[in-house]
Amino acid sequence: MALKRSEQALFAREAIRTFQPDHPPRLVEVSVLNPHARRIAEQFNKNVLSPRLLSGLFGLGEFAVLLIIAITIFSAYGRLADAPLALPLSGLAIATLALLHGYEPSQLRSQRRQPVRVALAMVAGIAATVPCAAWTGSLDAPLGACLLTYAAVSIGALTLGRRILARRIRHWSRTGRLERRVVLVGGGGAAEQFIRQLDAVPDSDIRICGIFDDRDGDRSPPLVAGYPKLGTIAELTEFARIAKIDMLVVTLPLSAEKRILTILKSLWVLPLDIRISALSQNLRFRSRSYSYMGDVPMLDVMDRPIADWNQVAKRGFDLVFGIAALIAVAPIMVVTAIAIKLDTPGPVFFRQKRHGFNNEEILVWKFRSLRHDMADPTARKLVTKGDPRVTRVGRFIRRSSIDELPQLFNVLIGNLSLVGPRPHAVHAQSSTQVTFTEIVDGYFGRHKVKPGITGYAQLKGWRGEIDDDVKLQKRFEHDLFYIENWSLLLDLYILFATPYSLLNPKGAY
């Protein structure tokens, strides 16, 4: 039996849906983290440099070095007219290194075969550049000497740089500045075998932070291969919200299907990579169906929606368009602030605690739209049509969404994005006084990405009062669609389509 990666992901999603309860969803029990586990979680609270982010930065650095070497050598040979060849020459060399897996974190840690890999990249770059030079009529003996000199200098420079980087990576791994943090789910013999196999990998960047398991006794002892069991799976959810964890690895046999699926149903809401160890499984897939942690085969179940370079790109998107939007709407914000101050007594702005990324509580800014003496910072009572708490100015700015504009400051601070699931108040309830977590099973899954000022659900009309459970369910489904299909193009579409959607203020009171 062999599953492709796309099929594995589909299998995981369908499996989670299979275990959705038939009865109305209950509020998920939150387990208080024990003091020992909390101390360890706080030790892992600081951000570290991602190995994949480092490899990408190093690739950009090598491209710049190759460009400088090429231009310098062309200049030394008096061939500045051929300097434009430096761009395809360097670009093809870097592309070849990437095809040879030269930027895989595991390869950058190793000093072996670096000169061979770099030499092959240089040969590929020159081989592709020579026809271009011949086509332009600039190919001659001096240019050939120039290219050979470039190749020799580049091989030496890149090999030296990679040796230095390999040593620095080992040092950063030992000091905890560069690592991938992993939590194991499931103790006992399977977890011990996984740890022993991983420990056999030299200079690994994997840091096992602990083990969580609901079982006790021989099946899950308090210490496995030197790593402590920190608590139950319910406690793991809180642990992952405090510690900066990269991956969860389920070390249970696939024969424990029901237990694995129950675990996945509890943990899929976390913004982490989730893997199942395939080390001791009798069931074997095609080799390309696995990812690897060192030499340990893993079945990919879920990936973080926005990670590494995608995270950098989205943050850049927010800063560029956020600053531009703030400049564009500044006059509207000034006029709105004056109108609020003249309309009713009280502050211009209103701050409210809402759920942010990974269920973190954040303070969100809005223009005040309710009477100050009737403010409801906990959102225990939703605003309804004709609500007497809404001021005259507030009614207009709520219908036009002008009250949301101060959240551009949240975007610049970094706890909101321009586009994402709308952040709900921490204790938000529907008009029937039922909390959102009771209405939608897996509600916290919408917090796997940073919340936004506007979102896909709002674009499709699911905004405003929650007077029907179906409305929240539809909003949740649209949020999950956005998370699973995120791209910068999707963000652009939502951002520029939002003003048109505001022409229909249905549901905004």
65-123 pLDDT, tens digit each: 999 998 898 888 887 877 787 888 888 889 999 888 888 887 888 777 778 888 888 88
439-457 pLDDT, tens digit each: 677 778 888 899 999 999 8
Count CB neighbours of 310 within 10 A.
14
Cα–Cα distance measured from residue 271 to residue 261, given in angstroms and rounded to the nearest whole number: 18
32-71 pLDDT, tens digit each: 788 888 888 888 888 888 888 888 899 999 999 999 998 8
Give the mean pLDDT of 178-204. 84
Cα–Cα distance measured from residue 136 to residue 150, given in angstroms and rounded to the nearest whole number: 20
Q: Where are the alpha helices (DSSP H) in 100-232?
A: 105-108, 114-136, 141-175, 189-199
> Amino acid letter at 471?
K
- The answer to whether the predicted template modeling score (pTM) of the entire model surpasses 0.85 is no
pLDDT exceeds 70 at position 282: no
DSSP string, 39-55: HHHHHT-S--B-HHHHH
**Of 347, 404, 401, which Cα lies nearest the Cα of 370?**
347
pLDDT band at residue 401, thresholds of 50, 70 and 90?
confident
Give the mean pLDDT of 406-427. 90
Count CB neighbours of 388 within 10 A.
9
Beta carbons within 8 Å of 163's beta carbon, 6+ residues apart: 111, 114
Q: What percent of the chain has pLDDT over 70?
A: 83
**Of 464, 466, 462, 474, which Cα lies nearest the Cα of 436?**
466
The domain segmentation of the chain, as residue ranges, is 5-47+179-302, 51-175, 309-501
Q: What is the CATH number of domain 5-47+179-302?
A: 3.40.50.720
pLDDT band at residue 193, thresholds of 50, 70 and 90?
confident
Is residue 443 within 8 A of residue 34, CB to CB? The reply is no
Q: What percent of the chain has pLDDT over 90?
A: 20
**Of 309, 277, 270, which Cα lies nearest the Cα of 292?**
277
User: What average pLDDT is seen over the chain?
Assistant: 81
Give the mean pLDDT of 150-154. 89
Give the mean pLDDT of 418-426. 88
- Write out the two tokens for 71: 């231009």
pLDDT band at residue 283, thresholds of 50, 70 and 90?
low
Q: What is the CA radius of gyration of the chain?
A: 27
> Amino acid letter at 427?
H
The reported pLDDT for the residue numbered 498 is: 87
Count CB neighbours of 101 within 10 A.
10
Give the mean pLDDT of 190-199. 85
- Write out the two tokens for 127: 């081989």
291-337 pLDDT, tens digit each: 777 778 888 888 888 888 889 999 999 999 999 999 999 999 999 99
Cα–Cα distance measured from residue 40 to residue 236, given in angstroms and rounded to the nearest whole number: 12
pLDDT exceeds 60 at position 492: yes
Half-sphere exposure of 204 (CA within 13 A, CB side): 19
Cα–Cα distance measured from residue 225 to residue 184, given in angstroms and rounded to the nearest whole number: 12
